[in-house]
Amino acid sequence: MSLSVTAAPRAYKFEAVPIAIFLVLALAPVAASFGAESYLLGLFTRVMIYGIAALALDLLCGYGGLVSFGHAAFVGIGAYSVAILGSHGITDMTVTLPVALIVSAVFAFLTGTVCLRTKSVYFIMITLAFGQMIYFVAGSLSPYGGDDGLTVSLRSTLFGFPVFENDRALYYGVLLFLLASYLLCRAIVYSRFGRVFRGARENPTRMATIGYDVFRYQRVAYVIAGAIGGLSGFLLANATEFVSPAYMSWQRSGELIIMVLFGGLGTLHGAIVGAAAFLLLEDLLSGVTENWKLIFGPMLVLIVLFARGGLLGLGQSIKERFSRG
C-alpha cells in the first residue's frame, strides 16, 4: 500500500536562504560595532532565541499539524530552571542546561500524553490550558519572586569559566545553539521518523493501518519540541538576566505562532525569518507609536491573505514573476 504525502518537503540539500540567514547573523556583530553595539547585539540575540522557540513550534505545526497554543510554557520552564538553580548558587551550564532540557522534556511528555489524545481545536485548547496552568504555578512561586519575577544574578558558566560574561560571547553562543537546533530539526524532518511524522498529519488512519504507532511518533516529536523550547528559555534567562511568569503566558504562545506563520509554515528557516520580522517590526513600530499592534495586525492579515507561504512564500512568488518576465 503506497502512502502519498502531499506536503512533503523537497529532497534534502543545502539551500541558499538558510545559508544566507546564518551568514547575516554571523556578521551582524561586525555591523553592530559601527553603531549602538550593545543595543543591536541584545536585539539580535533576542531574535535568535525566539527563532529557536519558533523552530520547535514549526516542527509541530508545519510538519505535524499540531497547533500548540501553550508552547511558551516550555520557554518559561527553561528560563525558570536557570533562575531557580542560580538562586541556590548553581550556575554551571553542565548542570543548568541539562536540567532545563530535561524538565521541559518531562513536562512535554506528561502533557503531550494527554494533549495528543485529542485532535483539532480540542488539541489547541488543551495545550492552552496546560500553558496557563504552568503560568499560574510560576506566579505562585513566592520564594522565587512570584508575579514579580526573579533576577538572574549570574549568567551561566562552563566549568567555572564565565563564557557568557560579555554580550558578544553570549551572541555567538546563542548563534551556535540556533544552528544546532536548526540542523537537528532539519535532520528529523528528512529522516524516516520525519516521513512517518508528516504522514501522520496527512492521513493518520492510513499510517496506523500500515503498522505505525501514530501516537508514539507524535509524542516523541512533542517532547523534542518541548526540549528545544526549554533550550530557548535557558538562553533567554541568560540574555535578559531576569525571568517572569509572562514568559509562559498565552499571549507569548500566540506571538510564537504568529512568527511561524509570518515567516512561512513548514520551512524551519521561515520560523527564524518570522521571528526576526516580528521582533524587528515590533522594535521599529514601537518607536513610532505605543499602539504599534494596530499597524502590525493589518500587515499580518495581508501576509496571510495574499502570501499563504508567509514572507518566504511572498519572496518566492516575486522571484517567479520576475523569472517569467
Single out the residue of 227, 93, 86 nearest to residue 145, CA to CA. Answer: 86
| Poorest-pLDDT segment among 23-37, 80-94, 218-232 | 23-37
Mean pLDDT of 18-37: 86
292 within some domain: no
pLDDT surpassing 70 at residue 4: no
Single out the residue of 183, 154, 170, 180 nearest to residue 96, CA to CA. Answer: 154
54 within some domain: yes
Task: Provide the strand spans (E) within the chain.
Answer: 150-151, 242-243
Q: Which residues contact 37 (CB under 8 A, 6 or more apart)?
A: 29, 167
Q: Which residues contact 175 (CB under 8 A, 6 or more apart)?
A: 22, 25, 26, 48
Provide the 10 A C-beta neighbour count for residue 258: 20
pLDDT surpassing 60 at residue 10: no
Q: Compute and round to an integer the Cα radius of gyration of the chain.
A: 20
89 within some domain: yes
pLDDT surpassing 80 at residue 141: yes
Single out the residue of 185, 180, 17 nearest to residue 97, CA to CA. Answer: 180
Mean pLDDT of 271-292: 88
Q: Which residues contact 195 (CB under 8 A, 6 or more apart)?
A: 5, 8
pLDDT band at 317 (very low <50, low <70, confident <90, very high): confident
| pLDDT tens for each residue of 48-105 | 999 999 999 999 999 999 999 999 999 999 999 999 999 999 999 999 999 999 999 9
Q: C-alpha 24: how far from its chain's center?
A: 19
- Could you give phi then psi for residue 187, rounded to 5 degrees? -65, -40
Q: Which residues contact 32 (CB under 8 A, 6 or more apart)?
A: 40, 41, 44
Provide the 10 A C-beta neighbour count for residue 5: 15
Q: Are 243 and 87 in contact (CB under 8 A)?
A: no
pLDDT surpassing 70 at residue 170: yes
pLDDT band at 325 (very low <50, low <70, confident <90, very high): low
Predicted TM-score of the model (pTM): 0.91
Q: What is the domain extent for residue 143? A: 18-29+37-275
pLDDT surpassing 70 at residue 118: yes
| pLDDT tens for each residue of 196-220 | 999 999 888 889 888 899 999 999 9
Mean pLDDT of 313-325: 73
Rounded to an integer, what distance in angstroms lies between the CA atom of residue 147 and that of residue 132? 14
pLDDT surpassing 90 at residue 8: no
Q: Name the domain count of the chain.
A: 1
293 within some domain: no
192 within some domain: yes
Grid coordinates 496552568 are at which residue?
133
297 within some domain: no
One-letter amino acid for residue 31 of the chain = A
pLDDT band at 191 (very low <50, low <70, confident <90, very high): very high
Grid coordinates 519558533 are at which residue?
54
Q: Which residues contact 134 (CB under 8 A, 6 or more apart)?
A: 70, 73, 76, 77, 107, 248
**Cell numbers found for residue 147:** 508575579
pLDDT surpassing 50 at residue 2: no
One-letter amino acid for residue 64 of the chain = G
252 within some domain: yes
Which range, 31-45, 222-236, 271-285, has the best average confidence (pLDDT)?
Answer: 222-236
303 within some domain: no
Rounded to an integer, what distance in angstroms lies between the CA atom of residue 129 and that of residue 133? 6
